[in-house]
């Protein structure tokens, strides 16, 4: 299982519009094979990023999503906020789940060795 964290630095004046985009998202990712769930996390401290957190059964499932037509369609609205809405470039991080309190017997997969993460 992997967790993908997309850290997005949103200018506070655009925070409400940014959150509204997620509330009205296309939801195409929810139909992808091996997608588990996603969350939008609002920063509690000024200057910290929003985090779009998605969980996948495998890295291959996430990669397939980033290369799909559904990904392109689902992200078509993301360009509707002006560049001024973002304080700096986003940062995509991919993490392997090695412990999960909901699954005490989880056996982690062998470590991934990624050169570059797909763009999300």
Domain range annotation of the chain: 2-96
Higher per-residue pLDDT: 12 or 108: 12
| pLDDT at res. 114 | 83
Q: Which residues contact 82 (CB under 8 A, 6 or more apart)?
A: 14
Tell me the average pLDDT of the chain. 90
Class of domain 2-96: alpha beta
In the numeric block, which tokens belong to residue 41? Answer: 């996390």
What is the C-alpha separation between 71 and 5, in angstroms, rounded?
16
* Beta pairing class for 50-56 and 2-8: antiparallel
Are the CB atoms for 117 and 92 separated by under 8 Å?
A: yes
Q: Say whether pTM exceeds 0.85.
A: yes
In the numeric block, which tokens belong to residue 23? Answer: 């509330």
**pLDDT tens track for 66-111:** 999 988 887 776 667 899 999 999 999 999 999 999 999 988 888 9
Higher per-residue pLDDT: 4 or 27: 4
**pLDDT tens track for 51-65:** 999 999 999 999 999
| pLDDT at res. 14 | 96
Confidence of residue 26 (pLDDT cuts 50, 70, 90): confident
What is the C-alpha separation between 40 and 52, in angstroms, rounded?
5
């Amino acid at each position: 299982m992997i967790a993908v964290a997309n850290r997005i630095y949103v200018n506070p004046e655009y925070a409400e519009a940014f959150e509204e985009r997620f509330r009205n998202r296309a939801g195409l990712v929810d139909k992808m094979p091996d997608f588990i769930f996603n969350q939008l996390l609002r920063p509690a401290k000024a200057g910290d990023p929003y985090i779009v957190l998605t969980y996948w059964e495998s890295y291959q499932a996430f990669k397939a999503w980033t290369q799909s037509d559904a990904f392109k369609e689902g992200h078509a609205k993301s360009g509707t906020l002006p560049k001024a809405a973002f304080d700096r470039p986003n940062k995509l991080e991919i993490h392997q789940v090695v412990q999960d309190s909901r699954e005490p017997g989880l056996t982690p997969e062998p470590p991934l060795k990624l050169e570059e993460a797909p763009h999300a």
